[in-house]
Chain A
Amino acid sequence: MKNASKIILVFLSVVLFSCEKTIEFKEKDARPMIVVNAVIVPGNEFRVNISKSRHILEKSIYYEALENAEVSLYENGSFVSELAFFSNKDTTYEYFDYGSKKEHIFENGYYYEPDLEVKEGATYRLEVSHEGFSPVSCETTVPIPVELGNFVGQLEKAPQQYSNNTYEAKMNLEIVDPVDEDNYYRIGISKERGIELYFRKKGGYYYDYSGYGGGYGGGEVDPESVTPTDTIVEEAEFSNYIYSTDPVLSAYRNADIIGTTDDAIGLFSDELFSKEVYNLSFYALTRKKTFFEYGEYFKVSAFVQCLSKELFLYSRSFDQHSMVSDNPFAEPVPVYSNIEGGLGIFGSLVISSKSLYIGDYPVEGKTYIDDETFRELYKF
């Protein structure tokens, strides 16, 4: 279908001799609205961004905070406080043709409540008013963290469509889902690896191991040429996409005209769970062989965010909205908002996490240093 899409696009562009012109926009209702953006997380400061929407033809390259708003916060139905406004300066850049850009410094800020500790299971309500705008209100109930069970995995050579040195980290994570309620989740990972100092000196994950024929990230090496040390350098991988054919994790995967995006794969719900404990199956790619024999290891930290329903709907629709914004063949997707009378999102989440080591860690006799220390010691 990817080929079909391309052929059709090329064909249409040739066959349809179209002409383009600017036409008048006859808006029906373009009055600016109050925009509330806040995702509250237990352990974090209670912070709310408030701005205003603007007419689509209004020229501005940033959205400054809406000052002098009255922002009332309620917890479980009881008034807590009026949020204070914290003003700060913000910077953005306007880009022109030929690479030139212009810096814009503008007044920005946010509303906050420094003394409030966000509680799991509590319901928070905001009421916002400002002269010249219709008042808005919104509410979110902070979820309870989900319990995570076993997290296991292994590295396997990736199929041939990837480069020769690509490996799949295949993982399974148990999630204990409360059966009597609807729950919404997002999964994400971060990857780290421990690299034998000898190899790290030759490049590390993002650099070629010159001279060993492995290309990007290193491949097979001649054991005779390796001089192992007792030091392992810990390095993060910055590409943290996950892939899955698990029906639960694939349920909200989207498709666009060119192919399939993986951005939304992290979102899932318990809609397809048939039992309390569900074993999520997914994998990540890494483009370096792990030499376990030299004490190297591969580490994955998985986190599962338990999202409030409104945050889930917002995140999902925002993904879709962004994805199809330039696709003439797809229907535009409106972004969900739970701000009554206004726009934006007031949602909440809590995070549970678990880590997995593939390979032995720690290994007796090995010294572990982070990448920053490595750079200082070895002047990289």
Chain B
Amino acid sequence: MRKTVIALLLIIQCFWVYAQNLTISGYVRDKHTGESLINANVYEKESMKGTITNEYGFFSLSLSPGEKTIVFSYVGYTKEELNVNLQNDSSIVVELELMKELHEVKVYGSEASKVKRTQMSMVEIPTTTLAKVPLLLGEPDVLKVIQLLPGVQSGTEGTSGIYVRGGGPDQNLFLLDGVPVYNANHLFGFFSVFNPSAVKTVKLYKGGFPARFGGRLSSVIDIRMKEGNTKEFKGEFSVGLISSRFSLEGPIVKDKTSFIVSGRRTYLDLLARPVMKIVNKNTDGYDYTGGYYFYDLNAKINHIFSDRSRLYFSSYLGLDKAYSVEEGYYVEEYVRYNDRSESGLKWGNITNALRWNYVFGSKLFSNVTLTYSKYNFNVGSESLTVNTRDNEKREDIFDYNSGIEDFAGRIDFDYFPSARHSVKMGIGAIHHTFSPGVNHYNFTDDSDSAAPSDTTFGNKNIAASEIRMYGEDVFDISEKFQMNVGAHFSFFNVQGRNYTSFEPRASLRFLGSEKWSLKASYAQMSQYIHLLTTSTISLPTDLWLPATKNVKPQMSHQVAVGAFYKLPKGFDLSAELFYKDMNNLIEYKEGASFSGVAEGWESKIETGRGWAYGLEVMLEKNIGKTTGWIGYTLSKSERKFENLNFGKAFPAKYDRRHDVSLVLTHRFSDKIDVGATWVYGTGNAVTLGQQTYAAGSTGFSRWGVSEIQYYGGRNNYRMPAYHRLDVGVNFHKQKKHGIRTWSLGVYNAYSRQNPFYLFWGHNSKSGYNEQGKYYETSETALKQLSLFPLIPSVSYTFKF
């Protein structure tokens, strides 16, 4: 701790020396919407000294006094050049003009070049790509696009789970406007919670983590929501096969206050309800209804007090609900009883963030953030029987709740002491409340005074406090070398136990020329929360649990080296090698699965270590009518737990030796564009019996099993390879009030039966034998369950 503070002071003092130049600072925004442009380039034309805008569009550039030409550029926008006579520190707001919308993709990435920046293992996904990549049921999905990037495995078929560089599903930090989102999935993982209509930028960090990020081992998915158009009202709605969504934004006070609201809801339950009513009506005097839906609601409002001060409030609310209702009556001994029972499960996230940007002078940008987030999972059943003669009620209620609730506050500073340095530092605190499973049972019966029962049982809530601080500096060592060096410090208090972690981070870039660079990075990470999850699919019952006095925090070290090359005709080629070592990972004990964790979860887990290494190659093209990328990953990910697999190392569940993704979009004209993706991956590792043998006595009488399956090791067998082609086409048309788009798509175009689950089953055989006698028998056979054959989709979108 002391060392950290001293290091930060030294860095600040060191930069003070550079403070002799004059500074031009300000914001870069979209001319038509007022949206801040993140990572826009700002540089002095002659010296090529420059910087980029931060997450709020702010920049600060120190230059020597005199006549200067400052260039402002941003992907998809027309470049602006500004001539200034720099005699004093000055502040400006620059508004860039978007190129014609459908051309936007043309210049993506050409400026904020992968070659030049120090940051490696990071990918920015343009939101325009989201709409063009064909996906399951035509639903644009941030995480599904991320799955198409090298180094990211997709987990189980159709789901949004991501496994980055051999890490687990809990090792990804999903930040929505800087607020952690714990469960990023809807519908058992088939859709993510991020409504694409509200998303402004998406960045994925797989390694080389800057010091400002902490708390997860494997990745950071930094999603920023739009701020809301400060100039005019704009909107969009889309109607798809299973859901509809809308987005509305506009100024409340022009150029001062703006808002954006967007929502999405599925409606399979509404469509199915009349059908269910007809099917179930009067079958036994009872009516049955049931269904499933999810919705998301995003809202954001912001107000510009001055060029120095701006306030934001953003909120997200999402819910999944599956339910069934049974209603009817019965007659017993000449008394009618009305009967109603309802059961269901629901889960959802709430996040709220209030942030205030303030600029001190021209070199120091501050951001104060207060956040609240909550994830809750609930299973409940309720039945009510009413004796209509005596008006006596019998009520039976059961509830199970688990979740996590956070209150957090942080302050971050961006300090720009010179054109060669860009410093970020900050400190924050989080108070967590973990609810690892609480049951509530309530029973009342008016006719039986002895019956009432009201009990709550299960795990107690666990409170934990976390403090994080960091400092990092991106600085030019020379023209060729640039470095981002920093450290992240964290403190975690739980159950009277304190954990601390000092995590050095470093990234180094060697710029060989404008066309190629070499990079290396090291990052140490710690994670104070664990996700206790089943091995097969993403379920809302997966429990977020803290490190405790008995369960240590997860730790990792990751090193990566990479080469980046800019090819002609807008192609970018990159290759990265990585090695990651992870400690204190948790898994269920052998034989345990999710329903057993209602109590004593700590006794049902094992801790161990894991490691992963691999090569990622990506060839992208971001200019021209045809854009997209080919990604290839060669990797290996293993785990070793003392009490699993008899202490021997075994492949991680989503260890995938080869992973290929091909993403292509082509714009024929302003009216038509098409997209296609093809993915190929080595089959997932599963534990599958290879032989059988006779069970021996255990020295104790028992029923049942007399045969044992021999696996040869955990995750010893590979499922068949996974591959799939998705295609889609968008038809755009300019209408009087906006642009309408018809999107047609086909998921799994050649209807590949990809493996979801393997098991040993039986094939029945019957017929007449040689003696003419009929026989029936069965043979053991390896069975594969598959989801999602060819699935067409259609949606209609209107932007105004």
Contacts of A324 in B (CB 8 A): 591, 593
Q: Is A336 part of the binding interface, using a Cβ–Cβ cutoff of 8 Å?
A: yes
Our pick among A30, A52, A318, A334 for the contact of B695 (Cβ within 8 Å) is A318
Contacts of B645 in A (CB 8 A): 334
Our pick among A32, A254, A255, A318 for the contact of B708 (Cβ within 8 Å) is A318
Our pick among B587, B593, B779 for the contact of A256 (Cβ within 8 Å) is B593
Interface residues of chain B: helix, strand, loop or mixed (majority): mixed
Interface-located stretch among B69-77, B673-681, B684-692: B684-692
Given known A-B contacts A33-B691, A188-B700, A255-B596, A24 and B782 have beta carbons under 8 A apart: yes
Contacts of A186 in B (CB 8 A): 699-700
Chain B interface size, as a band, is 35 or more
Do A22 and B783 have beta carbons less than 8 Å apart? yes
Given known A-B contacts A17-B787, A57-B780, A344 and B696 have beta carbons under 8 A apart: yes
Do B594 and A29 have beta carbons less than 8 Å apart? no
Q: Is A81 part of the binding interface, using a Cβ–Cβ cutoff of 8 Å?
A: no
Do B345 and A323 have beta carbons less than 8 Å apart? no
Contacts of B759 in A (CB 8 A): 328
Contacts of A318 in B (CB 8 A): 695, 698, 705, 708
Give per-residue flags for A1-44: 1 if the beta carbon is below 8 A from chain B beta carbons, else 0. Answer: 11111011001100111111111110111101101111101000
Residue of B with least CB distance to A311: B699
Our pick among B187, B590, B603 for the contact of A251 (Cβ within 8 Å) is B603
Contacts of B345 in A (CB 8 A): 4, 7-8, 11
Given known A-B contacts A1-B437, A3-B379, A332-B711, A315 and B699 have beta carbons under 8 A apart: yes
Q: Is A325 part of the binding interface, using a Cβ–Cβ cutoff of 8 Å?
A: yes
Residue of A with least CB distance to B697: A39
Do A54 and B646 have beta carbons less than 8 Å apart? no
Q: In the complex, A186 Cα to B759 Cα: how many Å?
A: 33
Interface-located stretch among B22-30, B177-185, B535-543: B535-543
Contacts of A21 in B (CB 8 A): 753, 783-784, 786
Contacts of B705 in A (CB 8 A): 318, 321-322, 325
Do B699 and A307 have beta carbons less than 8 Å apart? yes
Residue of A with least CB distance to B451: A160
Q: How far is the CB of B731 from chain A (nearest CB, A)?
A: 29
Our pick among B398, B536, B697, B784 for the contact of A20 (Cβ within 8 Å) is B784
Q: In the complex, A57 Cα to B692 Cα: how many Å?
A: 9
Q: Which of B433-455 contact A (CB under 8 A)?
A: 437, 439
Q: Which of B716-756 contact A (CB under 8 A)?
A: 716-717, 720, 753, 755-756
Our pick among A29, A54, A63, A336 for the contact of B712 (Cβ within 8 Å) is A29
Q: How far is the CB of B379 from chain A (nearest CB, A)?
A: 4
Given known A-B contacts A16-B787, A22-B783, A63-B694, A56 and B687 have beta carbons under 8 A apart: no
Do B541 and A4 have beta carbons less than 8 Å apart? yes
Using a Cβ–Cβ cut-off of 8 Å, how many residues does chain A contribute to the interface with B?
85
Do A97 and B776 have beta carbons less than 8 Å apart? yes
Q: Is A329 part of the binding interface, using a Cβ–Cβ cutoff of 8 Å?
A: yes
Give per-residue flags for A258-298: 1 if the beta carbon is below 8 A from chain B beta carbons, else 0. Answer: 11100100100000000000000000000000000000000
Q: Is B90 part of the binding interface, using a Cβ–Cβ cutoff of 8 Å?
A: no
Do B593 and A330 have beta carbons less than 8 Å apart? yes
Our pick among A16, A30, A188, A319 for the contact of B591 (Cβ within 8 Å) is A319
Give per-residue flags for A51-93: 1 if the beta carbon is below 8 A from chain B beta carbons, else 0. Answer: 1111111010001000000000000000000000000000000
Contacts of A328 in B (CB 8 A): 536, 757, 759
Q: In the complex, A29 Cα to B534 Cα: how many Å?
A: 28
Contacts of B690 in A (CB 8 A): 27-30, 55-56
Do B691 and A345 have beta carbons less than 8 Å apart? no
Q: In the complex, A7 Cα to B400 Cα: how many Å?
A: 13
Q: Which of A293-318 contact B (CB under 8 A)?
A: 305, 307, 311, 314-315, 317-318
Q: Is B9 part of the binding interface, using a Cβ–Cβ cutoff of 8 Å?
A: no
Contacts of B187 in A (CB 8 A): 15
Q: In the complex, A256 Cα to B593 Cα: how many Å?
A: 6
Q: How far is the CB of A104 from chain B (nearest CB, A)?
A: 13
Do B699 and A255 have beta carbons less than 8 Å apart? no
User: B700, B712, B716, B759 — which one has the most chain A CB atoms within 10 A of its CB?
Assistant: B700
User: B398, B755, B786 — which one has the most chain A CB atoms within 10 A of its CB?
Assistant: B786
Our pick among A5, A8, A16, A333 for the contact of B590 (Cβ within 8 Å) is A333
Q: In the complex, A317 Cα to B698 Cα: how many Å?
A: 11
User: A4, A30, A257 — which one has the most chain B CB atoms within 10 A of its CB?
Assistant: A4
Contacts of A12 in B (CB 8 A): 188, 537
Q: Is B713 part of the binding interface, using a Cβ–Cβ cutoff of 8 Å?
A: yes
Q: How far is the CB of A160 from chain B (nearest CB, A)?
A: 9
Do B590 and A344 have beta carbons less than 8 Å apart? no
Q: Is A327 part of the binding interface, using a Cβ–Cβ cutoff of 8 Å?
A: yes
Q: In the complex, A59 Cα to B780 Cα: how many Å?
A: 7
Do A1 and B598 have beta carbons less than 8 Å apart? yes
Contacts of A8 in B (CB 8 A): 345, 539, 541
Our pick among A32, A38, A332 for the contact of B687 (Cβ within 8 Å) is A332
Q: Which of B776-795 contact A (CB under 8 A)?
A: 776-777, 779-787, 789
Contacts of A7 in B (CB 8 A): 322, 343-345, 379
Q: Is B265 part of the binding interface, using a Cβ–Cβ cutoff of 8 Å?
A: no
Contacts of A63 in B (CB 8 A): 693-694, 707
Do A329 and B699 have beta carbons less than 8 Å apart? no
Residue of A with least CB distance to B705: A322
Q: In the complex, A55 Cα to B781 Cα: how many Å?
A: 12
Q: In the complex, A371 Cα to B628 Cα: how many Å?
A: 83
Q: How far is the CB of B68 from chain A (nearest CB, A)?
A: 61
Given known A-B contacts A20-B784, A30-B691, A51-B693, A258 and B595 have beta carbons under 8 A apart: yes
Q: Is B389 part of the binding interface, using a Cβ–Cβ cutoff of 8 Å?
A: no
Q: How far is the CB of B160 from chain A (nearest CB, A)?
A: 15
Do B588 and A331 have beta carbons less than 8 Å apart? yes
Q: Is A49 part of the binding interface, using a Cβ–Cβ cutoff of 8 Å?
A: yes
Our pick among B541, B595, B716, B777 for the contact of A255 (Cβ within 8 Å) is B595
Do B712 and A28 have beta carbons less than 8 Å apart? yes
Q: Is B604 part of the binding interface, using a Cβ–Cβ cutoff of 8 Å?
A: yes
Residue of B with least CB distance to A4: B379
Contacts of B693 in A (CB 8 A): 33, 35, 51-54, 63, 343-344
Q: Is A320 part of the binding interface, using a Cβ–Cβ cutoff of 8 Å?
A: yes
Do A334 and B777 have beta carbons less than 8 Å apart? no
Residue of B with least CB distance to A27: B690
Q: Is A335 part of the binding interface, using a Cβ–Cβ cutoff of 8 Å?
A: yes
A to B CB contacts below 8 Å, 29 in the list? A2-B595, A4-B400, A8-B541, A12-B537, A15-B187, A19-B753, A22-B783, A30-B691, A33-B691, A35-B694, A37-B695, A39-B697, A57-B781, A96-B776, A254-B596, A255-B595, A255-B597, A256-B595, A257-B594, A263-B702, A311-B698, A318-B695, A323-B591, A328-B759, A330-B534, A330-B535, A331-B590, A331-B714, A336-B646
Beyond the given pairs A11-B292, A12-B537, A53-B710, 14 more chain A to chain B contacts, judged by CB atoms under 8 angstroms and listed by A's residue number, are A1-B379, A8-B541, A19-B789, A23-B758, A28-B717, A30-B691, A63-B693, A254-B591, A256-B591, A257-B595, A314-B698, A329-B593, A336-B646, A344-B696
Give A residues with C-beta under 8 Å from B: 1-5, 7-8, 11-12, 15-25, 27-30, 32-33, 35-39, 41, 49, 51-57, 59, 63, 96-97, 186, 188, 251, 254-260, 263, 266, 305, 307, 311, 314-315, 317-325, 327-336, 343-345, 347, 349
